[in-house]
Amino acid sequence: MLHNLISNALRHTPANGTVFLRAEPRGEMVRVEVADTGEGISPEDLPRVFERSFRGGESRACPGTEGAPGAGLGLAIARGLVEAHCGTISVESESGVGTRFHFSLRRT
């Protein structure tokens, strides 16, 4: 799931942009954050990003697939994995400014 979030951040951030990764303990949980200074997610698409097979209007082709779009499963799978481990995942975004995904899991 972390690979998916980082890959998405890199894919949607221009060469002169930045991708941030942070992990910090919060009591019995650890919070992981992946943030970027990329194109952001439109307000219309934001509530649906974790839906299976949803690809936003700004979705791009996967590298090496000759223009074929992704299946739209990555974020749905990430949400499923986090929730299967009794965690939470959420997203904040502003078009043209960037996106921040964060998830929390129990520390073991």
For 43-100, the pLDDT digits (tens) are: 998 898 898 866 665 444 444 433 445 556 789 999 999 999 999 999 999 999 999 9
Q: What fold is seen in the domain 2-106?
A: Heat Shock Protein 90 (3.30.565)
For the full predicted model, state whether its pTM sits above 0.85. no
Three-class secondary structure of residue 3 per DSSP: helix
d(CA 56, CA 60): 9
CA 108 to chain centre: 24
Q: Which amino acid appears at position 81 of this protein?
A: L
